[in-house]
A and B are shown apart, each in its own frame.
Chain A
Amino acid sequence: MGTKKKEVLNKIQQLGMGIINEAKQQKNPHFEVPIRSLSNIKFDAKKRIIQMGNSASKRFFFNVAHIKKFLQTVEVALTAKELLEEDKHISLRQTFYKMRRTIPGTNIDVVEEQKESNDAVEDLELISGFSREQLNINANKNGAAAGKIIIKDKGDTIDWSKLGSGGWAIPSNTEDIEFKKVNAKFILYMEKAAMWERLHEDKFWDKMNCVIIASQGQATRGIRRLIKRMNEELKLPVYVFVDNDPWGFYIYSVLKHGSISLAHESERLAIPSAKLIGLTCDDVEKYQLKRHIIKFKDVDVSRIKQLQNYDWFKDSKHWQRQFKMMKNQKGKVELDALITKGISFVSEKYLPDKIKKKDFLD
């Protein structure tokens, strides 16, 4: 940790000196920022993860269109330096407030909305080669875990099976968690806290010898890194349980292959072996959930089309089949719809059946 911190600080120092030297040589100071968009990612079919391409854009100080972002990037670097030196962490939101000020004598704000500081943080990650967590900037924590595992975090030993109804709140930085004792056989990740609570109440993890983890919506980096580490270090298979709609499927996609905007982090975050346990379109038919379909909006339909065209889905017959069925369904089915089959249907029937039959989508 200590050496890592030094490395990060050195890198920030280097970036600063780079700008100063360019100015000294009367060159327009600039950064090279890899482009974070669909056009600059490649799907590595062998590793089955999304990786960043080589396109980078140059960001200049003496450029009307760049100058604001340029300063924001430098200010984030300064923020990271201060945090590292004091050994403290702040959130993205707090980073926004820390950077937020009006340039004296003008009405120009260094950052106007959080999106700008968030982007600046991501830019700095790309420029420096260090992740946000390594820069001591955290995302909002979000997510819960429970199961047959004992961990150590900041000196505290925590048994995930003895945490009452709330479970263990997953911190934003899970890099330094140590796994002490593992009795789990797999990890079940779901996109809804409500489903997690249902399963937790039924002690699903106890019956099935597993770990259950939930986020609310898209999984945060902390959750992704935690699952990735458990998958890699503990060799636990990962099953993903999401709504039957393009957004749910994309949560699975991000978990498995990485995301487009964080393509540079795929190696650390993506879990290529993760499998989708449900809800599949076949489940919808099999369990007669059709009458719980909520009609798609235009944006949902076009999102399906986008997913269909992603490299990692494009050539997969069974995924294309799912998308086709989903389109024909003309609507989505949420995990919560399973409750109509019985309060403990999910924990007693649906999931055990699926796991037993290895009825997964990969």
Chain B
Amino acid sequence: MTNKDSNIAEKMAATQREISVAEFFEKNRHLLGFDNPQKSLLTVVREAVDNSLDACEEAGILPDINVKVKQISDDRFKISIQDNGPGIVKAQIPRIFGKLLYGSKFFKLSQSRGQQGIGISAAVLYSQLTTGKPSLIRSRTGPDKKVEQFQVRIDTLKNEPQIIEETTYDKRYIDHGTFIEMEIEGAYRKGKQSIDEYMKQTAISNPFANLIYTSPTDEKISFKRVVNNLPRRAKSIKPHPHGVELGVFERMSKNTKARTVASFMANDFSRVSLVSAKNICKLARIDCNLDPRKLEHEQIEKIWRTIQKEKIMKPPLDCLSPIGEAVLEKAIEKDFNAEFTAAITRPPAVYRGNPFGIEVCIGYGGENINEKGPATVVRVANRVPLLYEPSACAITKAIKKISWNNYKIQQQNNVPTGPLIIVVHMYSTWIPYTSEGKEAIDAYNIILKEIKLGLQDCARKVGRYIAGKKRRQIEKRRQSLFETYIPELAGALEKITNVKKETIENDLRKMLKKELLDNGNKEEGSSE
């Protein structure tokens, strides 16, 4: 290679880097949730709220989150989110907000909201690209600590944080927590895919959080927490070998601290013992003492293929943390004034080596649930509501597979109708989204089956309630009919026989009580 050639290469490398972050964003904005102005607005809020909730949960703090979305011009919004989380240590702040793909979530699997560590910095970048403004971050880690404030941009050339202004002060501020403020281009609309809806559904799926939301139309909505204890903390687990793709497996082998192939498998994965690791090497005809970082691609593939065929114990299931049946019911009762609720948390199951669980809660009746039209469906993945792509989602598909009629619930085109709200929560160390947009859950058979079982369980209870309600209504009508006629009959009989009306009425009323009791025991009522 000549000098000239290498110069060109260097130049190319320079230009390549120059476009890297901004171009990466432009090419992938639809995957990151920034496909259009309306969705972008939601995505920014969602990334920030998800982070706040994750941080609070991890720190064992009951979340208080205040979200403000203010419209400052036709297509410009100022978004601010304040939480009472543990705060972020000063040194980390610029990197968390000012560097794409920074995070600790790789190769450690746990049930958390963010999965790719791409979220909040992408929001900062989006803000910067659409308005040119830096983001303001303020954080405090404890009452005895100072308040750290940064104005941060992302250096799109280097994918490094660029600090515009940095202040430290003692000024009164909450004891601990983080505040972020961004200005972005966006569009605000009400409806099924609005921030309003997102906040409402977030309140349902995080009943232990206090949420205050001020909308662009200056409505302040407060969602009070329904329960005062945090859900059990989700434990992180190592990936199960059946749940990793070849590419990830290879990357893990390059980054491992293990010295041998056998210990790499035993240390970095769950449910693989040293003995079985050695056995796998033997079956793959790979020396188990080789350095995993130096394996050829073909060798890695051999090992990976062998593992996939091996029977390996299911991953541990205690790493999951459901919302809980009672809590879900409480949330639906409170938020919708539901007249009846039924919930079930299914025992955890496994798809492709990933533990997961399904929770379903159905609310029926009450003043805030639409009487007519299709049921309201709230899809939740790891406590994050999913607002887009309902038809691609396993939850929607499962709902359509149920014969709702069997449960005395009306249906139209396979969709349940009537005063119903259906909440389905899938929680897992790894949610299988249909696309990078993280909007719809992939319909693995076992996932579909679990959702269906959950739905059926709740539908049965709701159906029983509806039947009972109908019976009670009939009973009530019967009673009031009899009560209407008693004075009429007694009056006519008095005139015929001269027996006092009151005497006759009393006897008839006594009789009515007995009659109603008998009927209650009998189910349906004809007195013959």
Contacts and interface: CB of A to CB of B under 8 A. Distances in A.
Q: Which of B493, B496, B511 has the most CB of A within 10 A?
A: B496
Interface of B: 477-478, 481-482, 484-485, 488-489, 492-493, 495-497, 499, 504, 507-508, 510-512, 514-515, 525-528
Contacts of B478: 64
B496 A23 contact: no
B497 A20 contact: yes
B489 A71 contact: yes
Given A26-B514, A78-B495, A110 B488 contact: yes
B527 A28 contact: yes
A: interface residue count bin: 20 to 34
A24 interface: yes
B515 A70 contact: no
A60 to B, nearest CB: 5
A50 to B, nearest CB: 28
Contacts of B485: 61, 67, 71, 103
Nearest to B497: A16
Interface in A61-119: 61-65, 67, 70-71, 74-75, 77-78, 81, 103, 105-106, 108, 110
Interface string A1-42: 000000000001101110110011011110000000000000
A58 interface: yes
Given A29-B511, A64-B526, A67-B481, 8 more contacts: A17-B497, A20-B499, A61-B508, A63-B527, A64-B477, A64-B525, A67-B485, A103-B484
A272 B477 CA distance: 51
Nearest to B495: A78
14 contacts: A16-B496, A20-B499, A23-B504, A23-B508, A26-B514, A58-B528, A61-B485, A64-B478, A64-B526, A67-B481, A71-B492, A75-B492, A106-B484, A110-B488
Contacts of B527: 28, 60, 62-63
B491 to A, nearest CB: 9
A110 B497 CA distance: 20
B496 A61 contact: no
Contacts, number: 79
Given A23-B504, A63-B528, A64-B481, A28 B492 contact: no
A2 to B, nearest CB: 20
B493 A19 contact: yes
A65 B493 CA distance: 21
B528 A26 contact: no
B526 A65 contact: yes
A77 B495 CA distance: 10
Nearest to A79: B492
Contact of B496 (A24, A62, A78): A78
Given A64-B478, A71-B488, A13 B507 contact: no
Contacts of A61: 485, 489, 508
Contacts of B528: 58, 60, 63
Contacts of A58: 528
Interface in A175-225: none
Given A26-B514, A64-B525, A74 B497 contact: no
Nearest to A80: B496
A20 B527 CA distance: 18
A24 B489 CA distance: 14
A78 B488 CA distance: 12
Contacts of B504: 20, 23
Contacts of A12: 496
A151 B23 CA distance: 120
Nearest to B477: A64
- Across chains A and B, which 9 residue pairs bring their CB atoms closest together, nearest first? A16-B496, A23-B507, A16-B497, A63-B527, A62-B515, A74-B492, A78-B492, A62-B527, A24-B507
A70 B478 CA distance: 15
B482 A67 contact: yes
A328 B497 CA distance: 60
B523 to A, nearest CB: 15
